[in-house]
Structure 1
């Protein structure tokens, strides 16, 4: 699987880095006492909404024309939802890491992913399937919007604001791609620590998973997982 970041995105934020983890063999399931403990622990020590790491993401949204007060970066939205929502074991794991490190973390079901994962600026005609009033609808990103996409369409709009329905992680997910996204002032050491923490939680869920990882940065904007 190829993964890459378009130069048009790094031109907006040269400090952007993404740590990608590809995980095979998950045995997901409904939230339980373990995952509730992860979420509660993350919420207890949660940063305030004025944290500099959040403000960096708000600035990144403004750079491509988005209003972060209306469509918030994913970790900003999570920090405003207390107690943290229970989704399923895997989503609870990465949401707890996201809040603990003030770091956007996304998860994609590889069983529904097609082709390379790439972070690009949208042309505007890409498809994006979303939920609206309990029904799946087809939407489109704005021209120039920063989006994650595969060969079929947009998988996450506005960098990390909202994930599509097609690739979201469910209790049936067995293979997944996790994207941990960093901007300054977060250090590279903390990005690595967040990846290690997520890997450890996923191994609590499924001890025999296989994990591959790669970090993309300006000198290495593409990789194969």
Structure 2
């Protein structure tokens, strides 16, 4: 990839921010942002399947050990517990709107969804490393990413009964947003349709969410695993990172 493209990615990352209101809510929160340029999108394939299968095997082994009395149940992982607490702190009910990693892990033993090769790779890392990860099409962003608390007037593009609709977050809800509206509701619960990954996505941003129960070394390891997975999909991918 050219230096100009990498410079654009760095400039966008440098403008990403976490609002003070979120820091006051959870001072232990960090976000690792990874911009990937030169991705090769497409349907799920053998490469992404192998990574999902390995992640599923990891979860099944954790379940087996827990059932044998060697460790806590997967649902009681300290990082998942911390995320449920964070959701409750801004008024969400995690038993109804689960943190994304929690929702994925509950499906892993029976089989993770197969979506597309890029989504499959980051879902596999999310499950294996027990942290929420979101992936979005950078070309569909309007300005930089901001994690903040909603005032309730922001627009969130989604679908209901197969039809496009615009919703609004609850006042005080933690949201990722850009200049056009909400890109992800309830911190990492649901992404909007406007910036979601598609089979045409070649430039994406991935957001890895960590609370204090997941230390910086573990967060870095998850980021390294995602970078390795994206490189397996596209050997010439350009990767730029920033820790917020």
Q: TM-score, normalised by structure 2?
A: 0.87
- List gaps (5 residues or longer) in structure 1: 217-225
Q: Is the 8 A contact 2:157 2:164 kept in 1?
A: yes
Higher strand share: 1
1:181 corresponds to: 209
Cα deviation 1:113-142 (Å, max 9, x = unaligned): 110100000010000011212111110000
Distance (Å, rounded) in 1 between the aligned partners of 2:111 and 2:22: 33
2:76 corresponds to: 50
* Structure number with bigger Rg: 2
Distance (Å, rounded) in 2 between the aligned partners of 1:186 and 1:124: 30
Distance (Å, rounded) in 1 between the aligned partners of 2:161 and 2:231: 35
Distance (Å, rounded) in 1 between the aligned partners of 2:78 and 2:87: 14
Distance (Å, rounded) in 2 between the aligned partners of 1:7 and 1:29: 38
1:130 corresponds to: 158
Q: Is the 8 A contact 2:182 2:192 kept in 1?
A: yes
2:26 corresponds to: 13
Does 1:70 find its partner at 2:96?
Answer: yes
Distance (Å, rounded) in 2 between the aligned partners of 1:33 and 1:206: 14
2:85 corresponds to: 59
CA apart distance, 1:185: 1.3
SS where residue 29 of structure 1 aligns? coil
1:221 corresponds to: none
Structure 1 residues 3-152: aligned runs within 5 Å? 3-46=16-59, 48-81=74-107, 82-152=110-180
2:235 corresponds to: 207
CA apart distance, 1:110: 0.8
Q: Is the 8 A contact 2:119 2:197 kept in 1?
A: yes
Superposed CA RMSD: 0.8
SS where residue 164 of structure 2 aligns? strand
1:222 corresponds to: none
Q: Is the 8 A contact 2:33 2:241 kept in 1?
A: yes
Detail structure 1 runs of 4+ shifted over 6 Å in the superposition.
Answer: none
CA apart distance, 1:71: 0.4
1:220 corresponds to: none
CA apart distance, 1:146: 0.1
* Worse-superposed segment, 55-64 or 28-37: 28-37
Q: TM-score, normalised by structure 1?
A: 0.94
- List gaps (5 residues or longer) in structure 2: 1-11, 63-73
Aligned length, in residue pairs = 216
Distance (Å, rounded) in 1 between the aligned partners of 2:50 and 2:80: 24
* Worse-superposed segment, 39-48 or 90-99: 39-48
Distance (Å, rounded) in 1 between the aligned partners of 2:45 and 2:145: 31
